[in-house]
Structure formats: structure tokens, C-alpha cells
Amino acid sequence: MASRRSNHPRECSSTEREGHPSTSRVRASSLPLPDTVLHDKVHELVDFVLLKYNNQETTTKAEMLHCVLQDCQEHFPRIFSKASECLYMVFGIDVKEPEPPEQIYALVPVLDLTYNRMLAGEHGIPKTSLLIIILSIIFIKGNHVHEEVLWEMLGRMQVYEGQEHYAYGEPRQVITEHLVQEGYLVYRQVPDSSPARYEFLWGPRAHAETTKLKVLEHLAKVIGKDPQSYPRLYAEALREEPVAPQI
């Protein structure tokens, strides 16, 4: 999604969580939800879940209905599906399906990358998705990518060096400083390059927290293909997949 409606997602009060919505709230139209209303409600739910994620909290369907979707509860499945897709694709957050009886939705970073507040934007927007994109590009390009190639590929996604991004802030600072300092990326001069050129590789923290197979599976899910559709990458990912200890 191109923008968010609010920099401060609405937090549900304890009264709203525990109380029962009024009759007018519960009543939902059986008519199809207009696209403008659907769009607004998806944004509101995304903002609500982002607040929960930044506070390292879980949420429930009842809480989402009481706090965000009082007037269109019949449309929860469609709104929730679109919001979950946005959270996964744009913000790198996976909303895990609830397990009975609590029906609690866990909010976890995609690829098991650990949450770090240094990777959140000025208004608390996670930047995990940018990291995932870069790790994917590095893997696809043979485990290292020249700096100019990376910026060319990010530009296709409307992420430009030196230009403020609504979710990622100033990309160059995030990539060459924050993600390098956090150990997710290595930024080094290409050996024997003259004039000097620079490249990116996976950092030790990326290797510790995720695997190439998880990155490939995520990439295939986004594109809508099977990971085995990329035989070279799939074979490499399998070779480097950690072997489970035998019991």
C-alpha cells in the first residue's frame, strides 16, 4: 500500500476490549462493502496491528472487531485477509493463524528475523521488508551484489538512494549504516577494484537468524510460484540448510 492514514495507530481501551459493542456497532450490512470503505478499514486494521507489533503484543479476532471493525463485522474475513497480505508484503510481519481455544494471533517477523527497534521508522514502521528484499537480491545475484546493481533493483520498487521513503526513511542510511551496524549486511570494497567499487553480502546476523531456503520460500510465495521453479537457487539452499540433530 502506498501510504498509511495515520502515524499513530489507534489503541483499544480496556473498556472497548472487555465491553460489548452497541447494537448499532454489531449490525452489519449484508450489502457488498464499497471499495473506499474497504480500503479505509484495511488501513485502520494495519495501523492497529502495527501498534500491537511494535509493543510486542498479540491480538485476537474479538479485539480487532471491537477496536477497529465495529461497523462491518460481517466483512472481517475479507478485510483481515487484505490487511494480513499488506503486513506480510510491505512490513515483513506474518500474522500467524490462531490456535484454539484462545484464538490469539501471534505477530512475528518474516524469515525469523529478530525484531529490533533500530529497524523501525520514525513513526514505528518496521523496516524488516526492506531487509528481506536486500537479502533476497544478494542471494539471487550469487551471494554478493554490487552497490550500483542493488540501487538499480531497488529503484524498480520506488526505493531511491537519497530520497526519503514513506516507510523506510532515507534508504542509504538504513542500508549502509543501520543494517550493517546491526550485522545483517556486510558492505565492503570489491577486491582489486580500481576505481573502488562496493558490494553487499549477508552479514553474520542474517546467517544466524534465517536461511537461504526460507528466503527462497518467501520469494516464491510473493511471486506465486513453487520454490523448485528456481532449480539452481533451490539446490544451493538445500545444500546449506542446517541438518537437524538426530535424537
Same domain, 131 and 187: yes
* Alpha helix ranges (H) inside the chain: 14-18, 23-26, 35-54, 61-67, 76-91, 128-140, 147-155, 171-173, 179-181, 204-209, 212-223, 231-239
> What does DSSP assign to residue 69?
-
Q: At 82, is the secondary structure helix, strand, or coil? A: helix
By CB atoms closer than 10 A (0-12, 13-18, 19+), residue 242 is exposed
pLDDT for 8 = 44
Q: Does residue 195 have a cis bond before it (omega within 30 degrees)?
A: yes
Rounded to whole angstroms, how far apart are CA atoms 94 and 97?
A: 9
**Confidence at residue 42, expressed as pLDDT on a 0 to 100 scale:** 94
Distance (Å, whole) CA 216 – CA 229: 10
Residue 179, in any domain of the structure:
yes
> How confident is the prediction along the chain (247 residues), in pLDDT tens digits per residue?
444 444 444 445 444 444 444 444 444 445 677 888 899 999 999 999 998 988 888 899 989 999 998 888 899 999 999 999 988 888 888 898 877 767 789 888 888 888 554 455 445 567 788 899 999 999 999 999 999 999 999 999 899 998 988 778 889 998 999 999 999 999 999 988 889 999 999 999 999 999 999 999 998 988 889 999 999 999 999 998 877 666 6
Query: Does residue 162 sit within a domain?
Result: yes
If asked whether residues 84 and 141 sit together in one domain, one would say no
Task: Find all residues with CB under 8 Å of 154, minimum gap 6, and list them.
Answer: 133, 134, 160, 161, 171
pTM for the whole structure: 0.75
How many structural domains comprise the chain? 2
CATH code of the domain containing 172: 1.10.10.1210
97 & 149 share domain: no
For residue 90, what are the domain limits?
14-110
Predicted confidence at residue 26, as pLDDT, reads 41
Residue among 38, 32, 25 nearest 85 (CA): 38
pLDDT at 180: 94
Whether residue 174 is contained in a domain is answered as yes
Secondary structure class of 168 (helix, strand, coil): coil
Asked whether the bond before 32 is cis by omega within 30 degrees of 0, the reply is no
Residues 129 and 194 occupy one common structural domain: yes
Q: Which of 206, 229, 228 is nearest to 136 (CA)?
A: 206
d(CA 81, CA 70): 17
